[in-house]
Amino acid sequence: MTDLHNLTIVGARTALDAGDLTSLELTEALLARIEHTEPRIRAFLTITAEAAREQARAADASRGNTERGPLHGIPLAIKDVICTAGVRTTCGSRILENFVPPYSATVIERLSAGGAVLLGKLNCDEFAMGSSTEASAYQTTGNPWDLSRVPGGSSGGSAAAVASGQALGTLGTDTGGSIRQPAALCGVSGLKPTYGRVSRYGLIAYGSSLDQIGPLAQTAADLAMILQVLAGHDPRDGTSAAAPVPDYRAALSGDVRGLRVGVPSEYFVEGMEPGVEQATRAAIAVLRERGAEVIEISLPYTKYALPTYYIIAPAEASANLARFDGVRYGPREPGDSMWDQIELTRGHRFGAEVRRRIMLGAYTLSAGYYDAYYKRAQQVRTLIKRDFEIAFAKVDIIAAPTSPTVAFLIGQKTDNPLAMYLSDVCTLPINLAGVPGLVVPCGFSEGLPVGLQLIGRPFDEASLLRAGDAYQRETDWHTRRPQL
């Protein structure tokens, strides 16, 4: 078989099961692809080649095991904010430079138990705070479709690795759009599960009430296979939901007849690029042609999502990042006293965007401002959540744009934080409401990918995957590959 790096997970699973391919052959092909493309893409912070080969050999040795899961022998890569025992985990930050966790996150344990092969750790905005992966302390990842442009963020390395064929699937995290926006900008599929669907144990937290781990891959069918392994209650995570996990692959019927699809006017924001709107509306039309009922809806509190998010998320970040002081782990700057060491370590080791959000969060939580900012933001969050509850009484899923623009030039927005924050205007409400969101490629504008965003009821990822898979059976956008 040639061009193994272009296989979908479904295609690789079929070849592995038929004996036409071994996991070691597939892993070697992807490691070769990484070696060939990584100098230009810069998606990886750590490559675990020898460990991956050992895992692939173990997967091949257990080929006859009837208990093999859907990811057995499949090479994947992990965003570098998820703890991996014995493998460096930096969060894209100098304050965790060379930090090696003593334990693995639950999602890593589940992947490993399922026989997945882990290729390494992927670049991201520092502590997942960013929309372009330019806030990484180590390197800027390029968009495989145009290396002068960003891959999105904060899971830019995760999206770029899939788009460039360096991994068949990846894990990212989504706090305000950090799986969905880079998936759209890189022309791949990405899923933010319902808050609580996938364990956050071992995820280094940014915003604890918003963070969610999820997969990126070429197709919705691939995402269903990864989610099948990740989903489920974890007693080590107090926010993990004890909701039953359906058979996601069984939901991929290819049929959307009778599915009610809501289209909110508020998501077609002022300043949206015409090509993005055109591709999104054309994708919705495909669902209609396949038998879905398209209904115009309103989510009136959407306009408050951006300021609400940028009060709540930095507030939670300021608390979560207080533990990074150089005292217990990570490098420590010299100082005359313990307090000097802490101040110098945090001041020198945190990047500009992380410092900005810590200061913003500390301010909104401070005496005299808590009620005016944080408490009020939480009240507005409730209204945003209620918007979705009202909408889902009328529709089954919601279809909307993912990003108002295609991938922008590296450096274009780094001096304008507000312009950068506006990149997530279509994705933030989903995190505030805790509902799931899926992105699938739906076209191109100015030669760059556009993604359709599908939003679902809490714990109804199955309907999103069903709709995304049905759309991909009718279109070929997900089969397009960048020329590298």
3-class SS string, 45-104: EEECHHHHHHHHHHHHHCCCCCCCCCCCCCEEEEECCECECCECCCCCCHHHCCCCCCCC
Q: pLDDT digit string (tens) for 193-222?
A: 999 999 999 999 999 999 999 999 999 999
pLDDT of 1 higher than 80: no
**Helices 220-230 & 106-113, crossing angle to 10 degrees?**
110
Q: pLDDT digit string (tens) for 147-195?
A: 999 999 999 999 999 999 999 999 999 999 999 999 999 999 999 999 9
Can you tell me the distance from the alpha carbon of 301 to that of 46, in angstroms, rounded to the nearest whole number? 41
Residue 18 lies in a domain: yes
Q: Exposed, middle or buried: residue 19 (CB in 10 Å: 0-12, 13-18, 19+)?
A: exposed
What tokens were used for 401? Answer: 């744009």
pLDDT bucket at 418, cuts 50 / 70 / 90: confident
Residue 327 lies in a domain: no
pLDDT of residue 66: 65
Residue 369 lies in a domain: no
Q: What is the mean pLDDT of residues 22-45?
A: 98
Can you tell me the distance from the alpha carbon of 192 to that of 196, in angstroms, rounded to the nearest whole number? 11
pLDDT of 331 higher than 90: no
Q: pLDDT digit string (tens) for 234-293?
A: 999 999 999 999 999 999 999 999 999 999 999 998 889 999 999 999 999 999 999 999
Q: Among 431, 385, 382, 393, which Cα is nearest to 295's?
A: 393
Residues paired with residue 82 on neighbouring β-strands, in sequence order: 203
Domain count, the chain: 1
pLDDT of residue 71: 98
Residue 453's φ and ψ, nearest 5 degrees, are: -105, 125
Can you tell me the distance from the alpha carbon of 17 to that of 9, in angstroms, rounded to the nearest whole number? 12
Question: H or E segment at 118?
Answer: strand 117-122
Q: What is the mean pLDDT of residues 49-76?
A: 91
Domain with residue 52: its CATH number is: 3.90.1300.10
Can you tell me the distance from the alpha carbon of 380 to that of 387, in angstroms, rounded to the nearest whole number? 11
- For residue 445, the SS3 value is strand
Can you tell me the distance from the alpha carbon of 204 to that of 78, in angstroms, rounded to the nearest whole number? 13
pLDDT bucket at 94, cuts 50 / 70 / 90: very high
Q: Count of alpha carbons within 13 Å of 186, Cβ hemisphere only? A: 39
CA of residue 418 relative to chain centroid, distance: 21
Q: Which residues does the annotation mark as catalytic?
A: 79, 154, 178
Residue 293 lies in a domain: no
Residue 237 lies in a domain: yes
Nearby residues of 181 by Cβ (< 8 Å), 6 or more positions away: 131, 152, 153, 402, 403, 423, 424, 427
pLDDT bucket at 321, cuts 50 / 70 / 90: very high
pTM for this predicted structure = 0.97
**Average pLDDT across the chain, whole number:** 96
pLDDT of residue 269: 87
What tokens were used for 255? Answer: 């049929």
Q: Exposed, middle or buried: residue 306 (CB in 10 Å: 0-12, 13-18, 19+)?
A: middle
Provide the residue range defining the domain that includes 234.
4-262+393-479
Residue 278 lies in a domain: no
Q: pLDDT digit string (tens) for 352-390?
A: 999 999 999 999 999 889 999 999 999 999 999 999 999
What tokens were used for 365? Answer: 């939580």
Which amino acid is located at 288 in the chain? R
Nearby residues of 466 by Cβ (< 8 Å), 6 or more positions away: 251, 252, 253, 255, 256, 259
